[in-house]
Structure 1
Amino acid sequence: MKKKYICMVLAASLVVGSATFAFATTNTETKAAVTTGTSVTATGAAVSNTQAADTVTNGAVTTSSGSITTTGSGVSTTDGAVTTTDAAVNASGTALEGVVPPEKTDTKKLSLEEAIKIMKTTGTSAETAELHKKSDIAVGNGYSETVSKIKKTQDKLDFLDSIPSSMLPAGVDPVEMAYEAQVAGVSSNNKKIMQLRRDFARNNTENNYQAELNQIEADTISIYYKVLLAQDNLNIAKENLATQQQTLKNVQAKKDVGLLSKKDVLQSQSAVADAESAVRSADTQLKYAKMSFNYLLGYNVQQDVVFTDTLNTVTSAAAITPADTAVQNALNNRIELKGANLAVKVYEVLLADVKAYPKNSSTYLNAEINLAEAQKTAKDATSKIEIDIRNKYDLVQDKKAAVEAAKELLTYATEGERLMQLTNEEGLSTVEELLATQVSVYKAKLNLANANSEYALALKSYEFAQGVGTTRIPL
């Protein structure tokens, strides 16, 4: 019976050593730098070597047309290099066979909501977010496995410690094994820290994922609004061109009957030329914005898309959360604040780990300073988040006021053009004055479109800031 018991103890000690070694290896970074016993084979090569390896000393190997195939042994060079003259690899035709751009289909109608849904479920950004989520899950599982390893090792060490030394096999020293395990990271405080990180990773994997989805949505909204703005600018430029062309027609008619001079005609022609240039520029910007949008959604860059939302509809239906409520929402949800609070808990554990040290020792003081810095970081993060939210709220109010001001300016400019048109027909104002009022209307329309775009973007930024945010954090 005693022999059986000693064998059981010996088996337990071997398991402890194995578990301790397994835990220690979790903190070791292994990098495969060299692969031995592997040769490189080129199929269909011109030169084949099936016997010994080719050894080159102080020389170079030059290949023309064909490749070099080795079977069994590898190719080694001493002091020399492998040199290729001119092009090392020549590829003619298509570099990658079978790679084709997305197919252009019939015209698509797309709302902003539909575009966001597509971006969150398909495409490279969505795939990247999914991979990051799986990585976060793996990190959380890693922390959990480490906690389990520490617990199992501690349980086995406690078991060995409870056995009288006279009954232990020769060479088994529980004290030495406990020391080696602690050096490898097996300690109660390490287990507490791993438990904190495990719970944090589990609780914030979805938050991290949502933050990345928020960034995808923000990018989609930004490019969608850029298309809408470019679209509005083109329509405004075309309206201005039509106005200038009609003005030129009227000026030419009056000049033909002797009411206006050649100078008036030239001024009007110049205004038409400027309007035509603006249309071309606006058209180029719209094409670029649409191609960028198509690329982002994984469409053919030339895909025809009808954008069903407008900047006016986006901003007119907006509800603005009060600043105080928004601050509280952000403090409850922002993931970076959760990370700062985790750091405080970790440093509290580390300080408790050195409480037996003298209070004036370097070890204790450093642990105390680290905790104080973590607490300050968390406190600063709270203040910075509040500043960020209140600043975004003020920006929303500013952009909203800018939209209202732009509307009033457009109304004023439009009325000024109407009155100038009437006085010009009566010969009470010049063509130059009329053209100036028309330019004012054109600029006022552009200003309103831009104000609507900036207001819409400010609203979404304010909304995202109240949730987990748009930036993922390492778990």
Structure 2
Amino acid sequence: MKKKYICIVLASNLILGSATLAFAATDTTGAATPTGKAATTTTETATTSSAVTTTGSAVLTTDSAVTITNSAVTTTNSAVTATDSAITTTDSAVTASDSAITNSVTPEKTATKTLSLKEAIQIMKTTGTSAETAALHRQADVAVGNGYSETVSKIKKTQDNLDLLSSLPDSWVESNYGESVVEMAYQAQLAGVSSNNKKIMQLRRDFARNNTENNYQAELNQIEADTISIYYKVLLAQDNLNIAKENLTTQQKTLKNVQAKKDVGLLSKKDVLQAQSAVADAESAVRSADTKLKYAKMSFNYLLGYNVQQEVVFTDTLDNIAAAAAEAVSADTAVNNALDNRIELKGAKLAVQVYEILLEDVKAYPKNSSTYLNAQINLAEAQKTSKDAYSKIEIDIRNKADLVQDKKAAVEAAKELLTYATEGVRLVQLTNEEGLSTVEELLAAQVNVYKAKLNLANANSDYALALKSYEFAQGVGTSRIPL
């Protein structure tokens, strides 16, 4: 009966004396730093002498798949020794047939798809590998919460059984279980059955239940951020290609005019060569922009699970996205939002609560003992981590707020620069017609317009991305945490 009862207690897998909290490390985005400490309050395990000794041919499999000879593994008081011929694999050790890997079917290319940014985000959040992974993680988090709940129930059941036995005569308990209630309670304590461990499991159970959906939302936020980023890259690549094509058309027209003037003796061969060089540069820029657009589209198709050659028409534009962007909230409001919502902060707070319980668990130890001091240090570190996490997240939010304003100002500056460059090329064209400016000056003015258009496209993209990053940082974030 003694063994039976001990098995009931130990089968609970309640080795909870060591509480390790692994929360995501605090970085510039404001996540909470892991304590990474194991606060052990109960048992230790020691191994002595030769833990395992195998002699002769420990393992031998035929057909030369794996052969281990001459004392394959020998553990002594200090080491593990394997001979030179411990493991030998032949050419036929591993063989993969043509059918070893299946289900590697490439998605079919279909008719041209029309896709807005909103539709792309919806697809990514509901289908595809990323969405499936997020759903599996949510199921795993539910299982973790259920596990903590079961552990709490097991501890309570064991404590109730011990309370019941303590109300019975000691002689009856010893005759039926082979040991006293005190001895059984001690064994249960070693197995992690304690009021403090139950409190810890209750805290972690409630934390897991309250943050399963937060974790899931954080993953969905990351999926949305990835989708937005790749969609914007395609739009930017499209804009760059269109701008490059416009520039090529302009340079070809300029070359035609220069050649005509040269033919009637108004310009020199040098002017023609300059115009031809500008056309060659413009053609090179078109080829480069086209290559970048193809790569961006293939990356987008891959992310959405399409055939990489799938034709997709993107209905949104960077100009429209930037123009439709809502005004960003103030930094103070954003900080309050983040401090209320970020799951890293909730995790750091839980760590403090757990280490407070663990310190309480060793209060009977001398205040100068290693056990008590380590528990005190662990709590202090958890408290510092929590405090630092709040500060770092506030720094990150305020920095993102400033970046949004910087990017917005950059868009306005890019628009003004384009207006200036466009007017500049108009004036140079007029003076060039009158012979008051050179072909070189005209070409330089046209290049300025080309660069100003590229600059505006990049500014619109950067502004839109900065706004989304600022928005996500005010919610649960984009990173899940272990529960």
Category of TM-score, reference length = shorter chain: 0.7 to 0.9
Q: Is structure 2 residue 171 aligned with structure 1 residue 166?
A: yes
Q: For residues 294-343 of structure 1, what are the alpha-carbon distances to aligned partners after superposition, in whole Å with 9 as ceiling and x for unaligned?
A: 00000000000000111111111222011100000000000100000000
Shift of 1:363: 2.2
Q: Structure 2, unaligned stretches of length 5 or more?
A: 18-56, 71-84
Q: Is structure 2 residue 328 aligned with structure 1 residue 320?
A: yes
Q: Counterpart in 2 of 1:104? A: 109
Q: Aligned ranges for residues 287-302 of structure 1 at < 5 Å?
A: 287-302=294-309
Give the counterpart letter for 1:23 in structure 2. S
Give the counterpart letter for 1:335 in structure 2. I
Match of 1:282 among 262, 271, 289: 289
Task: Measure the CA separation in 1 of the matches of 2:369 and 2:92.
Answer: 66
Match of 2:121 among 97, 106, 116: 116
Match of 2:340 among 332, 343, 350: 332
Shift of 1:25: 6.6
Shift of 1:59: 11
Structure 2 vs 1, CA of residues 153 and 87 (structure 1 numbering), >3 Å: closer, same or farther?
A: closer
Task: Measure the CA separation in 2 of the matches of 1:59 and 1:297.
Answer: 46
Answer yes or no: is the 8 Å Cα contact 1:61–1:83 preserved in 2. no
Shift of 1:57: 11
Give the counterpart letter for 1:20 in structure 2. V
Q: Counterpart in 2 of 1:309? A: 316
Q: Is structure 2 residue 440 aligned with structure 1 residue 432?
A: yes
Task: Measure the CA separation in 2 of the matches of 1:250 and 1:325.
Answer: 58
RMSD: 2.4
Structure 2 vs 1, CA of residues 458 and 256 (structure 1 numbering), >3 Å: closer, same or farther?
A: same
Structure 2 vs 1, CA of residues 158 and 83 (structure 1 numbering), >3 Å: closer, same or farther?
A: closer
Q: For residues 8-30 of structure 1, what are the alpha-carbon distances to aligned partners after superposition, in whole Å with 9 as ceiling and x for unaligned?
A: xx7xx7774343121237679xx
Structure 2 vs 1, CA of residues 331 and 101 (structure 1 numbering), >3 Å: closer, same or farther?
A: same
Q: Aligned ranges for residues 308-457 of structure 1 at < 5 Å?
A: 308-318=315-325, 319-457=327-465
Q: Structure 1, unaligned stretches of length 5 or more?
A: 1-9, 29-54, 64-74
Task: Measure the CA separation in 2 of the matches of 1:306 and 1:406.
Answer: 27
Q: Counterpart in 2 of 1:5? A: none
Give the counterpart letter for 1:181 in structure 2. A
Q: Is structure 2 residue 27 aligned with structure 1 residue 19?
A: no
Task: Measure the CA separation in 1 of the matches of 2:187 and 2:247.
Answer: 82
Task: Measure the CA separation in 2 of the matches of 1:128 and 1:252.
Answer: 62
Q: For residues 230-271 of structure 1, what are the alpha-carbon distances to aligned partners after superposition, in whole Å with 9 as ceiling and x for unaligned?
A: 000000000000000000010011011100001100100000
Q: Counterpart in 1 of 2:151? A: 146
Structure 2 vs 1, CA of residues 183 and 62 (structure 1 numbering), >3 Å: closer, same or farther?
A: closer
Structure 2 vs 1, CA of residues 87 and 203 (structure 1 numbering), >3 Å: closer, same or farther?
A: closer
Shift of 1:372: 1.4
Shift of 1:355: 2.0
Task: Measure the CA separation in 1 of the matches of 2:136 and 2:343.
Answer: 19
Answer yes or no: is the 8 Å Cα contact 2:67–2:89 preserved in 1. no
Structure 2 vs 1, CA of residues 14 and 300 (structure 1 numbering), >3 Å: closer, same or farther?
A: same
Give the counterpart letter for 2:167 in structure 1. S
Task: Measure the CA separation in 1 of the matches of 2:93 and 2:143.
Answer: 44
Task: Measure the CA separation in 2 of the matches of 1:389 and 1:205.
Answer: 24
Bigger RCO (CA 8 Å, 6+ sep): 2
Task: Measure the CA separation in 2 of the matches of 1:244 and 1:188.
Answer: 81
Structure 2 vs 1, CA of residues 141 and 404 (structure 1 numbering), >3 Å: closer, same or farther?
A: same
Shift of 1:165: 1.3
Shift of 1:86: 8.1
Q: Aligned ranges for residues 236-275 of structure 1 at < 5 Å?
A: 236-275=243-282
Answer yes or no: is the 8 Å Cα contact 1:60–1:83 preserved in 2. no
Q: For residues 27-79 of structure 1, what are the alpha-carbon distances to aligned partners after superposition, in whole Å with 9 as ceiling and x for unaligned?
A: 79xxxxxxxxxxxxxxxxxxxxxxxxxx999998469xxxxxxxxxxx98755
Give the counterpart letter for 2:348 in structure 1. A
Structure 2 vs 1, CA of residues 58 and 363 (structure 1 numbering), >3 Å: closer, same or farther?
A: closer
Give the counterpart letter for 1:433 in structure 2. E
Relative to the length of structure 1, the TM-score reads 0.85
Give the counterpart letter for 1:265 in structure 2. V
Q: Counterpart in 2 of 1:234? A: 241
SS, match of residue 168 in structure 1: helix
Q: Is structure 2 residue 129 aligned with structure 1 residue 129?
A: no
SS, match of residue 426 in structure 2: helix
Give the counterpart letter for 2:13 in structure 1. A
Give the counterpart letter for 1:453 in structure 2. S
Shift of 1:360: 2.8
Answer yes or no: is the 8 Å Cα contact 1:327–1:386 preserved in 2. yes
Answer yes or no: is the 8 Å Cα contact 2:14–2:151 preserved in 1. no
Give the counterpart letter for 1:302 in structure 2. Q
Shift of 1:373: 1.3
Task: Measure the CA separation in 2 of the matches of 1:347 and 1:399.
Answer: 43
Give the counterpart letter for 2:253 in structure 1. Q
Shift of 1:89: 3.4
Structure 2 vs 1, CA of residues 56 and 241 (structure 1 numbering), >3 Å: closer, same or farther?
A: same
Answer yes or no: is the 8 Å Cα contact 2:64–2:92 preserved in 1. no
Structure 2 vs 1, CA of residues 382 and 255 (structure 1 numbering), >3 Å: closer, same or farther?
A: same
Answer yes or no: is the 8 Å Cα contact 2:121–2:227 preserved in 1. yes
SS, match of residue 187 in structure 2: helix
Shift of 1:167: 3.0
Q: Name which one, 1 or 2, has greater alpha-carbon Rg.
A: 1
Shift of 1:172: 3.2
Structure 2 vs 1, CA of residues 422 and 372 (structure 1 numbering), >3 Å: closer, same or farther?
A: same
SS, match of residue 313 in structure 2: strand
Percent identity of the aligned residues? Answer: 77
SS, match of residue 385 in structure 1: helix
